[in-house]
Amino acid sequence: MGSHRVDDRLITRRWYDRIAPYYGGISGAFEVPSRRAGLRQLAVEPGEVVIDIGCGPGDALTEIAHRVEAEGFAIGLDIAPSMCHIARRHIEVAGLTDRCLILEADGTTLPLADASIDAVFMSFTLELLPIWLIDRLLDEVARILVDDGRITIVSLVDRPVTCMQTLYWVLHWCAPRMIDCRPIPLERYLTDSGFQVERAERELMAGIPVGIVTARPQAIGRMESNG
Ligand SMILES: C[S@@+](CC[C@H](N)C(=O)[O-])C[C@H]1O[C@@H](n2cnc3c(N)ncnc32)[C@H](O)[C@@H]1O
């Protein structure tokens, strides 16, 4: 818990920069099914402009770049330079450089214009941030999304409580830098930030609950009338 009271983005950046070459091998077997389920839920259409925040080595990004087709555009954004480098290489190998841009940047200060993005994807990244940065990142997402734009987030979630999740919490408390994702109340964070949850699924990743949630920013008028 203590590690998340401070803004430790520099430490996160250094950590992911260091493990980038091994990340796919370490996370791949566990995270791939949830990431795929997230992409199914996001349902990218040809011609859309889509950003993957915290794109890592670019597995989801490559899939997104395929799905937007030649008339669309995919943006991968990551705070760690080595992750960006590997993602760029994957996009090159896939022959998708003409419809894809990789930005080395912080997801809480997106270098993108207002209302310029159709859809946002995030997998296993939001839960790395402390709550005040989650608020800021979701505000940024609401700013860059077009009217009726959407976000799909894949994240460890705090419900239901399982034995494996309890074990994961213990490991997280013992080694918060290495076991760095933490289960969060994803839907509540989204609604608190003014999003309307449209679809929410749960699955287990090695016994640990993962949430896959799609939401849209609520129109201000609608939020006010809801009280
Ligand atoms: C656990 S990895 C997940 C990578 C990828 N989304 C996946 O599912 O394979 C988290 C990624 O988020 C990036 N990240 C962490 N904090 C970030 C921030 N504030 N802004 C942008 N990227 C960030 C890390 O560098 C890392 O690549």
pLDDT tens per residue, range 48-84: 999 999 999 999 999 999 999 999 999 999 999 999 9
**Helix, strand, or coil (residue 84):** helix
Exposed/middle/buried for 200, CB within 10 Å: 0-12, 13-18, 19+? Answer: middle
The per-residue pLDDT for 154 is 98
Residue pointed to by tokens 């590997």: 86
pLDDT digits (tens, 9 = 90+) for 150-173: 999 999 999 888 988 898 888 888
CA distance 225 to 227: 5
| Ligand 1 mutation target, pool 14, 79, 102, most atoms within 8 A of CB | 79
Q: How far is the CA of 48 from the centre of ligand 1 (A)?
A: 22
Question: Measured from the CB, is residue 126 less than 6 Å from ligand 1?
Answer: no
CA distance 201 to 211: 6
Type of residue at 142: A
Domain at 2-225: CATH architecture: 3-Layer(aba) Sandwich (3.40)
Encoded tokens for 133: 């940065």
HSE, side-chain direction, 13 A CA sphere, residue 113: 4
Encoded tokens for 34: 């949830």
CA distance 195 to 149: 11
Which residue, judged by its Cα, is nearest atom 12 of ligand 1? 54
Question: Measured from the CB, is residue 107 less than 6 Å from ligand 1?
Answer: yes
| Ligand 1 mutation target, pool 13, 16, 39, 134, most atoms within 8 A of CB | 16
- Give 221's pLDDT tier (boundaries 50, 70, 90): very low
Q: How far is the CA of 221 from the centre of ligand 1 (A)?
A: 33
Q: How far is the CA of 100 from the centre of ligand 1 (A)?
A: 18
CA distance 51 to 179: 26
How far from 77 is each of 52, 57, 63, 155, 182, CA to CA, in Å? 6, 10, 15, 17, 21
Q: Which atom of ligand 1 is nearest to the CA of 83?
A: 27
pLDDT digits (tens, 9 = 90+) for 174-192: 888 788 888 999 999 999 9
**Helix, strand, or coil (residue 41):** helix
- Give 212's pLDDT tier (boundaries 50, 70, 90): very high
> Which candidate, 30, 79, 83, 29, places its Cα nearest to that of 61?
83
Average pLDDT of the residues of the chain = 92
How far from 173 is each of 50, 121, 134, 213, CA to CA, in Å? 34, 28, 20, 26
Instruction: Evaluate whether 81 touches 56 at the Cβ level (below 8 Å).
Output: no
> Which candidate, 132, 135, 160, 153, places its Cα nearest to that of 197?
153
Instruction: Evaluate whether 73 touches 99 at the Cβ level (below 8 Å).
Output: yes
CA distance 222 to 183: 30
